Structure 1
Amino acid sequence: MVLPKFEVAAYWNESSGFADVFDVDYFIEQTRGYVEVVKDLPAEIASREPFKVDCSKRKGHFDYVETVLPALLEHQYISLTPAMNQRRDRNPAYAKASYCQGCYSALRLNKNVESKAVELLQAIPKPFLSLHLRFEPDMVAYSRCSYTGLSSKSMDSIEAARREGRKVLTGDAARLWRNRGKCPLTPSETAFILQALGIPTNTNIYLAAGDGLMELEGFTSVYKNTYTKSSLLTHEAFENMHGNTKAALDYYVSVNSDAYVATFFGNMDKMVTAMRTMQGLQRTLVLSRRAFANYTAAGLAGQQLAKAMWDAHREEYVRGRGSALPEYCFCEFKL
């Protein structure tokens, strides 16, 4: 296997690579015996284009044995698109063990990033809750959801981030999409749900969020002890960081937080919740956008809505593990 590459897109303005975040030599050493990892392509195939295998979730559910293995055997050299959501229960035991080793034992931040992460973690008042809040312009634009009550500045930012083919849904399509839980929670909606769950407003909260978070005052006006990377790190250190480095800091802090709450279940949330589970850490919760959308669509508000949201999260909140975590764990398989 060639050293992994990060998914990049022009609108992220991101150019950092695997080695800018992770300890490459450690990754190679820890995966030895499971799979051979090389830093660069062998010379005999470096000039060839790999056969691309699209494993993205929009292509439907499939497994690697049926889809990827035949392509690898036929073409010898393939590249895979990200596939965080694909099933792995039918993979052979050795493949599950290798996947577990690569995801949870072999990934370690490089020394430079880890030192910044430790510095950031130490600067946060304890105990604290790490909140992965997603309400950046590109996130909202990509969701195709419409919102009322946003500032003109936020609306302009969303429109500027909207790309061709991502028009706002309207009518029944918009209603069904929102009721399926596809629309990001606003900061004020997030604050409301946290209050409904009984999380005190004086809780120390670290915002694990990307640049350009909109409508943040809707959250910080309720939860005033809120901290961010930019408020805890020096201006120079923060401004010189790649986007992936900032995300790595959020990941490190979130894994090591006293509690973790996610408003969206994206790739980072999958990694954090899984790693916290692997380390035996509880107090991990993914908020239900679907429940909030359905209850508000039914006309619930105020205390009625708060009670409904508590009921929707009661089991996961008490247990400390969101239901989005898998019932089985492929890490139970060892070589």
Structure 2
Amino acid sequence: MVNKRGNYPHSRNSLATKLFPRKLTLYSITVYAILLFAFSIFIFIFYGKDIFQHEQMKPLSSEGSQSQQLPDSKLWGAPHHYGLRPCVKPTAKYKATQGWDRYMTVRSNGGLNQMRTGISDMVAVARIMNATLVIPQLDKRSFWQDSSTFSDVFDELHFTTSLQGDVRIVKELPKELEHVPRARKHFTSWSGMSYYEELTHLWKDYQVVHVVKSDSRLANNDLPVDIQRLRCRALYYALRFSPSIDNLGKKLVERLRSRGGRYIALHLRYEKDMLSFTGCTHGLTDVESEELRIMRENTNHWKMKKINSTEQRKGGFCPLTPEEVGIFLQALGYPPSTLIYIAAGEIYGGHIHLLDLTSRFPNVVFKETVASQDELKAFSNHASQTAALDYIISVESDVFIPSYSGNMARAVEGHRRFLGHRKTITPDRKGLVEVFDKMEAGQLEEGTLVSYLVMQLHKNRFLDVL
């Protein structure tokens, strides 16, 4: 019989002999040691950051009444810009505008931010179609019923002069063209360059083209780089607010800074029209829910009439409630003393619903509490002008948080990126609803675990926070 037990050590020694020479030179040992050290350093660098962040966020226990406290640099610090910077200057191929004898008139539509985006689009379209742009008319017929003119909201002189090398802009049509036939156009949304270039055939039969809606959504349609840069110049440089709005907005920012040094601008979309439009009734009484349903039924241009509020909320299509915002901010680690400016219209339910937020963060203010009645008197009954004040305060805030991704939220976030990547936190509403529902069902207790779950949900949405 073959002694297998006796053969095993022999086989092992043979393998070792193949892998490692019996006599290792000093040079070989040194090379092995250097390679092993370098490999260890690589592993540490590659995994060290993730391990450190995970340990920071790891819950100490499944219970506890206090959320984790992050350092100020994480709560308030601006995100890394990775070398990105505004790119708005025209290229060397860009040519100055000419004095065209064909004109484009525009009727803007929507709220302040929808109109701002639409006007910047119309500047680009006028350039593409070789037209002289007449100062746009602002929306006076929408939900807000605002009678403000362009010069009431924007610095008209600055608008025309800052774009004089791009598009010829005039205050009004020449007298001889006021009553001539006009081509009425409702531009097809999401159209690109070729669409507008084809429309230049209108100049053969008309000297004036009237655009019935400015909401053409021109962005990201394979536009040439110079047209995209023109849109940015129009939106972030040319559309400056009127001196009266700009001056008061800056004063209110200074007053907020004097109170606490830094503040959060919270765009709390808990207004009656927003809740009615989205069909979101979570946390409301039956009477309030019915009031919203009737409002939606009676608003003709709102196409959706029957909405399942529960499904809307689960899908993440509802604005966060004041209570949910409070839980969210507390879970992130903001202390109760944090100064919060509410950039929004009248909160539905008033003090009763707002108490769900102020009970956690009592240092909550509105423009009406920061400005005097005399200062706001000139802006009363002008929704676009008061929205402009909220816009200025939101852009200048240390942290901007929208409870719903509407026009205002996207406009402010874009402007803040343009000005240097200022911190914006966009809640993951769909993911948060799952956490909130478990809390309501008694499956989760507010504290360290909830804080951990909220941070985990958002770690890839705003890495600068975590």
**TM-score normalised by L of structure 2:** 0.60
Distance 2:173 2:444 in 1: 57
Which residue identity lines up with residue 16 of structure 1 in the other structure?
Answer: S
Q: Which residue of 2 aligns with 1:319?
A: 464
Partner letter of residue 428 of structure 2? S
Give the match for residue 30 of structure 1: 162
Is the alpha carbon distance of 1:112 and 1:33 closer, same or farther for their aligned partners in structure 2, counting shifts above 3 Å?
A: same
1:12 maps to which residue? 144
Native 8 Å contact 1:55 1:82 kept in 2: no
How much is the aligned-residue C-alpha RMSD, in angstroms? 2.8
Aligned pairs for 1:47-196 (under 5 A) are 47=179, 48-55=181-188, 62-74=190-202, 77-79=209-211, 81-83=213-215, 86-124=218-256, 125=259, 126-145=261-280, 147-151=281-285, 154-155=288-289, 158-159=292-293, 161-162=295-296, 163-164=299-300, 165-170=303-308, 174-196=309-331
In the alignment, structure 1 residue 231 sits paired with structure 2 residue 369 = yes
In structure 2, the CA distance between the partners of 1:10 and 1:53, relative to structure 1 (3 Å rule), is closer
Give, in angstroms, the shift of residue 252 of structure 1: 0.7
Instruction: Say if 2:318 and 2:404, in contact at 8 Å, map to a contact too.
Output: no
Give the match's secondary structure for 2:425: strand
For residue 222 of structure 1, the aligned residue among 336, 345, 360 is 360
Q: What is the CA-CA distance between 1:283 and the residue it aligns to?
A: 1.5
Cα drift, residue 302 of structure 1: 3.9
- Quick one: which amino acid aligns to residue 260 of structure 1? F
Cα deviation code 1:199-222 (max 9, x no counterpart): 222101111111344422221121
Distance 1:237 1:157, change over 3 A: farther
In structure 2, distance between residues paired with 1:239 and 1:222? 31
Q: Secondary structure at the match of 2:185?
A: strand
Q: Please give the secondary structure, in 2, of the residue aligned with 1:285.
A: coil
Q: Corresponding residue for 1:39?
A: 171
Which residue identity is paired with 2:184? Answer: F
Output the CA distance in 1 between the equivalents of 2:317 and 2:214.
Answer: 20
| Cα distance in structure 1, aligned partners of 2:262 and 2:327 | 21
SS at match of 1:103: helix
Larger mean Cα displacement after TM superposition, 31-40 or 311-320: 311-320
Alpha-carbon distance, 1:157 to partner: 5.3
- Counterparts in 2 of 1:55 and 1:80: CA distance versus 1, 3 Å: farther
Aligned-residue offset at 1:121: 1.4
Runs (5+) with no aligned partner, structure 1: 57-61, 322-335
Aligned residues: 312
- Greater C-alpha Rg: 2
State the shift of 1:84 in Å: 7.7
Alpha-carbon separation, structure 2, partners of 1:306 and 1:85? 38
- The 3 A distance-change label for structure 1 pair 110 and 179 is same
Instruction: Verify the 8 A CA contact 2:278 2:318 in the aligned structure 1.
Output: yes
Contact 2:272 2:292 in 1 (8 A): yes
Write out per-residue CA displacement over residues 289-330 of structure 1, whole angstroms, 9 at most, x where no aligned residue.
232235556777544554333212123333369xxxxxxxxx
1:162-311 equivalent positions in 2, closer than 5 A: 162=296, 163-164=299-300, 165-170=303-308, 174-214=309-349, 215-241=353-379, 242-296=382-436, 301-303=444-446, 305-311=450-456
Distance in structure 2 (CA, Å) of the matches to 1:191 and 1:234: 27
The offset of 1:156, in angstroms, is 6.2
Query: Residue type matched to 2:429 in 1?
Result: R
Query: After the TM superposition, which parts of structure 1 deviate over 6 Å for at least 4 consecutive aligned residues?
Result: 297-300
User: What amino acid is the match of 1:71?
Assistant: L
In 2 relative to 1, CA 268–80 (structure 1 residues): closer, same or farther, beyond 3 Å? farther
Q: Percent identity?
A: 27
Whether the 8 Å CA contact 2:134–2:171 is kept in 1: the answer is: yes
Question: Does the 8 Å CA contact 2:324/2:436 hold for their aligned counterparts?
Answer: no
Check 1:193–1:258 CA distance in 2 against 1; reply closer, same or farther (3 A cut): same
What is the distance in 2 between the residues matched to 1:17 and 1:302? 52
- Give the TM-score normalised by the residue count of structure 1: 0.82
Q: Distance in 1 between matches of 2:188 and 2:428?
A: 26
